[in-house]
Every structure is written in structure tokens, then in C-alpha cells.
Amino acid sequence: MRIIAFYSPKGGVGKTAAAVNIAYLASRDQVATLLWDLDPQGAAGFYLAGAQPVKGRKLSRLLEGKAPIARFVHDDVYPGLDVIPSHPSFRNFDIRLNQDEEGSHSLKKLLAPLSEETSLVVLDCPPTLSRLTEQVLELADRVYVPLVPTWLSLNSWKQLQAFVKSQKLPAKKLRPYFSLVDRRKKLHRELTESSDPGIERLLDVAIPYASVVEQMGEQGQPLEVLAPNTPAAESFRRLWQRIREDLW
Ligand SMILES: Nc1ncnc2c1ncn2[C@@H]1O[C@H](COP(=O)(O)OP(=O)(O)OP(=O)(O)O)[C@@H](O)[C@H]1O
Ligand SMILES: [Mg+2]
């Protein structure tokens, strides 16, 4: 079982859109995939109409070790794509992780029972620097970091690198890529076309700013279902290809 995360300390940079599209593309390539929306305000469910939290299934019980993870998984939202939708109780995830000195409810332990039936776990993370983030950075094989080509966003990339360094986490697994690229903007063009924008391990994939991505939320479908013949869909296919080459 391989684990990847979409993460940035900056909000609204396209983490969730990418996590949903990549999880869908992986499942379509016969990779048994689980998408876990770790954001308590989760948006992944908006992008996948079939993955709303089921009433009565309290995720707090999972975090307390009182219920097995399998009970929270929506099987086959699409063939080969399982989803753990977000839940407001995930806001307590950090408190739990801090209390849990033996790590018995760590993300790693929670995921372990699913390892036989799952080839790829895609974690959609909230934009926070927290204990949960630390665990994700420790656990994931690769962490994909969307960067909007602006100074503010590049600054948050530096902030993330400093955090990783200060926590002695492996920086090598970080994979930044440009997201929400608007070619009408000079700075976006300059940074994405630069032969050396000074960003280590930058992937050669740029996700364009495209209104069709926003429509994913309205339609509750991944881009590959909604609008496969668009440049944005093509850029996500390319991103999936890079991820696949990188993992196996
Ligand atoms: N490539 C894109 N082109 C245009 N709009 C996009 C694109 N990617 C995402 N969006 C839109 O931008 C907003 C934020 O996207 P998304 O939820 O994926 O970001 P996020 O990084 O997960 O945000 P948060 O930090 O709040 O979790 C959404 O309204 C989404 O529809
Ligand atoms: Mg998000």
C-alpha cells in the first residue's frame, strides 16, 4: 500500500480538487484506491456526489478506537474508488493525536487494516501546520504540494520547508507543482516558464486555472467524468502519470 498526500499550509490552492481527480484517475487505472478527506471542513465530498458522510457513523468513535475504520469507508463511489468522507469530529484529530502517546490511534495504525485491499491511499489534508500534518508528512510516501505562482504562495512553500526541517521530517518526499496557473498573469507566466524558478523537486506539470474545475463542485464529479476533453483534465492526467512513475 502506497500513501500520498495533497498538502499545503496555504488554503485554496487546489489540494482537494487534485486529491479527488488523482484518486479517480488511479482507480480508473485499476489501482485500488482509498481517498481520505482529513479536512474537518471537507470539500472532497462536494466533488464526489456519492461520498457524503453517513448519518449515525461518528468518526469520533474511530479516533477513540471504538469502531473499525472499515465502517467509515464508502465502498466503490466509483469502481475501485473507496472514500472516507470528512466529518466535523476530525477537528479533534489533533487533540487525540497529542493525547495518544503510544501512537495507538495514529494514522498509520488506523490505515493498517485496509492495506490488503488498498493499493493507494490519497490523503486530502487541511491547510494547517499541526500534529496531524506531522503524521501525514511522516507517513506518506510522497507529499504533493500545489503552488500558485505568486510570491505569497512561494513564501508558504518556504514556510513548509522550514517546518519540515525543524521537525526533522524527510524533505525529500515533498513534490511541489504549480496549480491554478493563469497565463494571463505576467508573474504566472514568468514563474511557470522559467527554466529554474528555484524550487527543488518541482514537477513538470502545471494545473491551469479553469472554470471547469470549479464546476466539479456543482456537479459532484471528477474532471475526467465531467469534462475529459479539456486542458485541465489533460493536466491532471499528466500529474497522475508523474505520480505513478514516482511511486512504483
Ligand atoms: N485549477 C483550478 N481552476 C479553477 N478553480 C480551481 C482550480 N482548482 C481549484 N479551484 C477552485 O478553487 C477553490 C479551492 O480549491 P480546493 O478546494 O481544491 O483548494 P484547497 O487547497 O483544497 O482549499 P482548502 O485549503 O480550503 O482545503 C474551489 O472553489 C475550487 O473549485
Ligand atoms: Mg481542501
Residue 68: CB partners within 8 Å, gap ≥ 6?
A: 62, 113
- Per residue in 18-43, pLDDT (tens digit) is 999 999 999 999 999 999 999 888 77
Ligand 1 atom closest to residue 232's alpha carbon, by position in its atom list: 1
- Ligand 1 pocket check for 127: Cβ under 6 Å: yes
Nearest Cα neighbor of 198 from 146, 138, 148, 154 is 154
- Grid cell, residue 116, equals 490488503
Q: From the CA of 13, how far away is ligand 1's center (Å)?
A: 5
- Per residue in 170-216, pLDDT (tens digit) is 999 999 999 999 999 999 999 999 888 889 999 999 999 999 999 99
Q: From the CA of 159, how far away is ligand 2's center (Å)?
A: 19
Q: What residue ranges define each of the domains in the chain, with the CATH number in brackets? A: 2-247 (3.40.50.300)
Residue 57 has pLDDT above 70, yes or no: no
Ligand 1 atom closest to residue 209's alpha carbon, by position in its atom list: 3
